[in-house]
C-alpha cells in the first residue's frame, strides 16, 4: 500500500469511520485523451458519496475503473485494505461491488423476477447435475434465493411487475428493477450511475427514498453519480467534483456548493 | 375462458416456480404425452411412425440443441449438421469397438465427443460476436465434413464410405439395425427426447440457464454480476453440442439406418436453423413446433392429393409443397417475427383476458 493511502486511512480513522475504498492518483488515458488525470479520493464505509461534474468530466470512467472495466495507466485502487492494479469485472462482483448503468442495462428478454434472481448468481453453488434434475439441493437453493429476492421486490414496491418481461416496462420501473438486481448481490459498495436521469419528480422522490433506505437499513455504502443538484445535496454525505478529468473539489455538500472552482466549472468564468 | 389461472392460488415459492404453474398447461402436456406414449403406438401405422414421428423427434432434439446455443445463449452457429455428425460417427465407432456396451451408454457417450468438439469450435465466441461468429462456425462445418470423408478410420474403412448401423438390443429386443421395428425405435427415441427435454427445461430455468440468458441479453452487465463469459459461453457450446450429438446419433441409428457424409452437410445445418427461427428462439415448445412445421407439414402436404385421388407427378407435388411452405414461412414471419412459439404464447395471453381484452 502506498504512503498516500495510508495517510488517508489514518485520517479517516481519526474521524471514527473506516475507509472502504480509496482511489490513489489514478490516471486513465485513451490514446492521447486523458479521461482521468491523477485523481485521489476515498469512500468511507456506510456513507453516500456523490461524484458530480459537468458532462465529460470522467465520472462514468471513474466508476468503470473502480469495478474493473478499465485499467488505469497510473495509480491504484484499494478496496477493503487490499490493493489491486488489474482486476476483472467479475472479480469486482465477487468482492462485493455492484453497480447500475447510466443507460439501463437490464436483461431485456427476462422477467423482473429473473433479472433480480440473476443478481444471486454468485451466491448459488449447485452444479449441473442437481440443476438438471431440479430436485433436492438445487430446488431448495432456488427457493431460498427466491425468498431473498421477494424481500427486495417488496422493498422496491415492484410486486405487480414480478412476472413481466422487463423490456416492456416503463423507464422509471426499469431503473428500479436495475437497482433491485444490484441489491440482490448484497453488495458492500453500490455504484449508481445516474439513477435518476430522465425521471419525473415523483419517480425521483421514490428513488431517493430507496437509496436512503438502502443505505440505512442494509448498511450499503453508495457511490452515486447524479446531475440533479437538489438530489445530490440532500442525499450525499460527501461530494467529489470532477471537471475535465481532474478533481476540483471534495467535501460536504455545503462546502462544495460554496467552492469557487465548482461554481466556475458549472457556470463558466467571465472573461 | 377455459385457459386462465383464476382461482389457482400458490402458497409456496416451490409451487410458483413449477415448470407449468397453470393447471390447464399441465393437462395439455399430459394429453400430448398420453397421445405420444399410448395412442400412437396403438393406432399409428408403421409409415407414420418411421417417416413422420421418428424424424420429427430427432429434428426436435437437434433444434433444442441449437436453440440452447442461439436462443438462450445468443451465440449463432451454422455447424449444427457437423456436430450431429460427430455424435453419429462417435456412436458408430464406440459401438463397433465395444459391441457389448449398452446402446444407451454408447448414445450418451457419443454426445460427450460432440460436446468436446463444440467447445473447441466455440472458442472464437470469446472474441467474436453475432454474424461473424456464425461465419467461424462454418469452419467447423467444412472441417468436420472433410474429416468424415478423409479419415477412413471413422467409418471403419468401408468401401462405400458410409456408416452401416449394426443390430443392437436392449433386454433382447432389437432397437437398431434392420430387425428393429419402427415401433421399438419410436418408443426408444420418444423416451430419450422426453427425458432430455425435461433436463433442458430444468437447466434453463436454473442458475446455469440464467447465466446464458444474461450473456445473451447484456454481456457487460452479466460480467458485473459475476458471470465469467468464458465459462458461460463454452458451457453453452458444450451443452448445445451434446444435444446435437445425441440427435445425430439417434438420426443415424434409429431413423436412417445408414448414413454418408451428405447427411450432415450445410443444408442440414440450415434446416435445423430454420426450425429454430420458425419455431421461436428461446423456447423449447418452439423447437417442436419448428420441427413439425419444417418436416411434418411437407409430408402431409404431399399426401393430400393422393387422399383425394388426384394423380399428380411426384416432382410437381414436390414443387407445390415447396411453394406452400415458402409462402407459409413468409406469412408467419410477418405475423410474428419471434416464431410460432410466441404466436402460441400471445394466443394464450389473449385467452386469459378474454372477453375483457383491456384487462391486464
Which residue of A94, A117, A131 is in closest CB contact with B208? A131
Quick check: B4 pLDDT over 80? no
A→B contacts (Cβ < 8 Å), by residue, are 67, 69, 88-90, 92-94, 98-99, 101, 105-110, 114, 117-119, 121-122, 124, 126, 128, 131-134, 138-139, 142-143, 146-147, 150, 181, 185
Which residue of A92, A107, A131 is in closest CB contact with B207? A131
Averaged confidence pLDDT in chain B: 91
Write phi, then psi, for B156 (nearest 5 degrees).
55, 35
Quick check: A2 pLDDT over 80? no
CA of A113: which chain B residue's CA is closest?
A: B17
Domains of chain A: 1-6+19-96+222-271 (3.40.50.300)
Quick check: A4 pLDDT over 80? no
Q: Do A143 and B199 touch (CB under 8 A)?
A: no
Q: In angstroms, how far is CA A45 from the centroid of its own chain? A: 13
Model confidence pLDDT, tens digit, residues A12-54: 444 557 889 999 999 999 988 889 999 999 999 999 999 999 8
Which residue of A90, A121, A150 is in closest CB contact with B207? A121
Please compute the mean of the pLDDT values over residues B128-152 and round it to a whole number.
Answer: 91
For residues A119 and A181, is the Cβ–Cβ distance under 8 A?
A: yes
Q: Do A106 and B213 touch (CB under 8 A)?
A: no
Among B226, B230, B282, B342, the strongest candidate for a mutation testing the A interface, having the largest count of A CBs within 10 A, is: B226
Which pLDDT does position A40 carry in this prediction? 93
Element (H, E) at B195: helix B182-205
Pairing of strands A33-44, A19-30: antiparallel
Which pLDDT does position B359 carry in this prediction? 65
Pairing of strands A238-243, A246-251: antiparallel
C-alpha distance from A262 to closest chain B C-alpha (Å): 32
User: In sequence order, what are the residues at sequence separation of 6 or more whose Cβ sits closer than 8 angstroms to the Cβ of residue A51?
Assistant: A59, A62, A63, A223, A224, A225, A239, A240, A242
Model confidence pLDDT, tens digit, residues B233-282: 999 999 999 999 999 999 999 999 989 899 999 999 999 999 999 999 99
Specify whether the backbone of A239 is left (phi greater than 0), alpha (psi in -120 to 50) or beta.
beta
Q: Which residues of B touch A65 (CB under 8 A)?
A: none
Q: Do A90 and B223 touch (CB under 8 A)?
A: yes
Quick check: A88 pLDDT over 60? yes
Model confidence pLDDT, tens digit, residues A116-171: 999 999 888 888 888 888 888 888 999 999 999 999 999 999 999 999 899 989 99
Quick check: A3 pLDDT over 50? no
- Alpha helices by DSSP H, listed for chain A, are 3-14, 59-66, 89-94, 112-118, 128-133, 137-156, 171-184, 201-217, 229-235, 253-257, 260-267
Q: How confident is the model at residue A271 (pLDDT cuts 50, 70, 90)?
A: low
Quick check: B92 pLDDT over 70? yes
Among B203, B221, B229, the strongest candidate for a mutation testing the A interface, having the largest count of A CBs within 10 A, is: B221
Q: Do B202 and A118 touch (CB under 8 A)?
A: no
C-alpha distance from A192 to closest chain B C-alpha (Å): 13
Which pLDDT does position A83 carry in this prediction? 84
C-alpha distance from B166 to closest chain A C-alpha (Å): 32
Which pLDDT does position B94 carry in this prediction? 94
Q: Which residues of A touch B208 (CB under 8 A)?
A: 128, 131
Q: Which residues of A touch B223 (CB under 8 A)?
A: 88-90, 93
CA neighbor of B154 nearest in space, from B105, B206, B97, B116: B97
Model confidence pLDDT, tens digit, residues A175-202: 999 999 999 999 999 999 999 988 999 9
Cross-strand pairs, A204: none
Instruction: Tell me if chain A has a CB within 8 Å of the CB of B112.
Output: no
Picking from A2-11, A122-131, A194-203, B145-154, which range would have the lowest pLDDT averaged per residue? A2-11
Quick check: A11 pLDDT over 70? no
Model confidence pLDDT, tens digit, residues A230-257: 999 999 999 999 998 899 999 999 999 8
Tallying the residues shown for chain B, one arrives at 360
CA of A140: which chain B residue's CA is closest?
A: B14
Quick check: B25 pLDDT over 70? yes
Model confidence pLDDT, tens digit, residues B168-222: 888 888 888 888 899 999 999 999 999 999 999 999 999 999 999 999 999 889 9
* % of chain A residues with pLDDT over 70: 94
Q: Do B218 and A114 touch (CB under 8 A)?
A: no
Please compute the mean of the pLDDT values over residues B102-129 and round it to a whole number.
Answer: 94
CA neighbor of B206 nearest in space, from A128, A115, A177, A123: A128
Quick check: B5 pLDDT over 90? no
- In whole angstroms, give the CA distance from residue A57 to residue B187: 67
Among B206, B208, B286, the strongest candidate for a mutation testing the A interface, having the largest count of A CBs within 10 A, is: B206
Please compute the mean of the pLDDT values over residues B143-161 and round it to a whole number.
Answer: 90
C-alpha distance from B161 to closest chain A C-alpha (Å): 38
Q: Do A131 and B217 touch (CB under 8 A)?
A: no
CA neighbor of B342 nearest in space, from B295, B285, B275, B274: B285
Q: Do A118 and B226 touch (CB under 8 A)?
A: no
Q: How confident is the model at residue B54 (pLDDT cuts 50, 70, 90)?
A: very high
Quick check: A7 pLDDT over 60? no
- In whole angstroms, give the CA distance from residue B340 to residue B286: 6
Highest averaged pLDDT of the listed ranges B9-13, B69-73, B336-340: B69-73
Quick check: B316 pLDDT over 80? yes
Which pLDDT does position A87 carry in this prediction? 82
Which pLDDT does position B161 carry in this prediction? 82
Q: Do A107 and B223 touch (CB under 8 A)?
A: no
Q: Indicate the fold that domain B48-353 takes in CATH.
A: ABC transporter involved in vitamin B12 uptake, BtuC (1.10.3470)
Quick check: B358 pLDDT over 80? no
Residue in the structure block whose three cell numbers are 469511520:
A17
Kindly list the domain boundaries of chain B, sorted by start residue: 48-353
Averaged confidence pLDDT in chain A: 88
Count of other CB atoms within 10 angstroms of residue A261? 14
Helix axes B80-97, B130-150, angle to 10 degrees: 30
Amino acid at each position: 500500500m502506498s504512503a498516500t493511502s495510508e495517510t488517508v486511512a489514518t485520517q479517516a480513522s481519526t474521524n471514527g469511520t473506516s475507509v472502504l475504498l480509496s482511489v490513489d492518483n489514478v490516471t486513465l488515458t485513451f490514446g492521447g485523451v486523458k479521461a482521468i488525470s491523477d485523481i485521489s479520493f476515498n469512500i468511507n464505509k456506510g456513507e453516500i458519496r456523490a461524484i458530480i461534474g459537468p458532462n465529460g468530466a470522467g465520472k462514468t470512467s471513474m466508476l468503470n475503473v473502480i469495478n474493473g472495466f478499465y485499467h488505469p495507466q497510473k495509480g491504484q485502487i484499494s478496496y477493503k485494505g487490499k490493493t489491486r492494479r488489474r482486476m476483472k469485472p467479475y472479480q469486482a462482483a465477487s468482492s462485493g461491488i455492484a453497480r447500475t448503468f447510466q443507460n439501463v442495462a437490464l436483461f431485456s428478454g427476462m422477467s423482473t423476477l429473473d433479472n433480480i434472481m440473476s443478481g444471486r448468481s454468485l451466491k448459488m453453488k449447485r452444479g449441473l447435475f442437481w440443476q438438471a434434475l431440479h430436485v433436492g439441493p438445487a430446488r431448495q437453493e432456488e427457493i431460498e434465493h427466491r425468498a431473498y429476492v421477494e424481500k427486495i421486490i417488496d422493498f422496491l414496491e415492484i410486486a405487480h411487475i414480478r412476472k413481466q418481461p422487463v423490456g416492456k416496462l416503463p423507464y422509471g420501473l426499469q431503473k428500479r428493477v436495475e437497482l433491485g438486481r444490484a441489491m440482490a448481490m448484497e453488495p458492500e459498495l453500490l455504484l449508481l450511475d445516474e439513477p435518476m436521469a430522465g425521471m419525473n419528480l415523483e419517480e425521483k422522490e421514490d428513488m431517493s427514498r430507496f437509496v436512503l433506505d438502502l443505505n440505512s437499513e442494509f448498511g450499503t455504502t453508495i457511490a452515486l453519480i447524479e446531475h440533479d443538484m437538489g438530489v445530490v445535496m440532500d442525499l450525499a454525505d460527501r461530494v467529489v467534483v470532477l471537471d475535465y478529468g481532474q478533481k476540483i473539489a471534495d467535501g460536504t455538500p455545503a462546502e462544495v456548493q460554496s467552492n469557487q472552482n465548482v461554481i466556475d466549472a458549472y457556470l463558466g468564468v467571465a472573461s | 375462458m377455459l385457459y386462465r389461472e383464476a382461482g389457482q392460488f400458490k402458497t409456496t415459492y416451490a409451487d410458483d416456480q413449477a415448470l407449468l404453474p397453470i393447471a390447464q398447461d399441465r393437462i395439455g402436456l399430459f394429453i400430448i404425452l398420453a397421445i405420444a406414449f399410448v395412442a400412437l403406438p396403438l393406432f399409428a401405422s408403421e409409415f407414420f411412425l418411421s417417416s413422420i414421428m421418428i424424424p420429427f423427434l430427432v429434428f426436435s432434439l437437434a433444434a433444442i440443441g441449437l436453440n440452447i446455443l442461439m436462443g438462450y445463449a445468443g451465440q449463432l452457429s451454422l455447424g449444427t449438421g457437423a456436430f450431429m455428425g460427430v455424435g453419429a460417427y462417435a456412436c458408430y465407432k464406440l459401438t463397433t469397438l465395444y459391441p457389448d456396451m449398452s446402446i444407451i451408454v454408447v448414445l450418451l457417450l457419443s454426445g460427450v465427443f460432440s460436446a468436446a468438439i463444440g467447445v473447441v469450435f466455440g472458442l472464437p465466441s470469446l472474441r467474436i460476436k453475432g454474424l461473424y461468429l456464425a461465419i467461424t462456425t462454418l469452419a467447423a462445418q467444412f472441417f468436420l465434413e472433410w474429416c468424415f470423408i478423409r479419415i477412413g478410420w471413422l467409418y471403419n474403412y468401408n468401401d462405400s464410405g458410409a456408416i452401416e448401423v449394426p443390430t443392437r438390443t436392449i433386454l433382447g429386443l432389437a432397437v437398431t439395425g434392420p430387425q428393429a421395428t419402427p415401433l421399438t425405435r419410436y418408443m426408444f427415441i420418444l423416451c430419450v427426447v422426453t427425458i432430455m427435454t425435461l433436463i433442458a427445461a430444468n437447466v434453463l430455468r436454473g442458475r446455469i440457464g440464467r447465466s446464458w440468458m444474461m450473456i445473451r441479453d447484456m454481456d457487460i452487465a452479466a460480467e458485473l454480476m459475476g458471470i465469467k463469459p468464458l465459462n458461460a459461453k463454452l458451457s453453452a457450446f458444450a451443452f448445445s453440442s451434446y444435444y446435437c450429438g445425441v440427435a445425430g446419433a439417434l438420426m443415424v441409428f434409429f431413423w436412417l439406418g445408414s448414413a454418408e457424409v451428405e447427411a450432415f452437410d450445410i443444408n442440414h445445418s440450415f434446416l435445423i436453423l430454420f426450425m429454430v427461427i420458425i419455431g421461436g428462439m428461446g423456447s423449447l415448445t418452439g423447437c417442436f413446433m419448428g420441427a413439425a412445421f419444417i418436416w411434418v407439414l411437407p409430408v402431409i402436404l404431399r399426401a393430400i392429393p393422393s387422399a383425394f385421388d388426384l394423380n399428380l407427378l411426384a416432382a410437381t407435388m414436390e414443387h407445390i409443397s415447396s411453394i406452400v411452405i415458402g409462402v407459409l414461412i413468409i406469412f408467419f414471419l410477418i405475423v410474428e417475427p419471434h416464431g410460432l412459439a410466441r404466436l402460441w404464447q400471445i394466443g394464450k395471453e389473449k385467452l386469459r383476458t378474454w372477453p375483457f381484452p383491456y384487462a391486464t
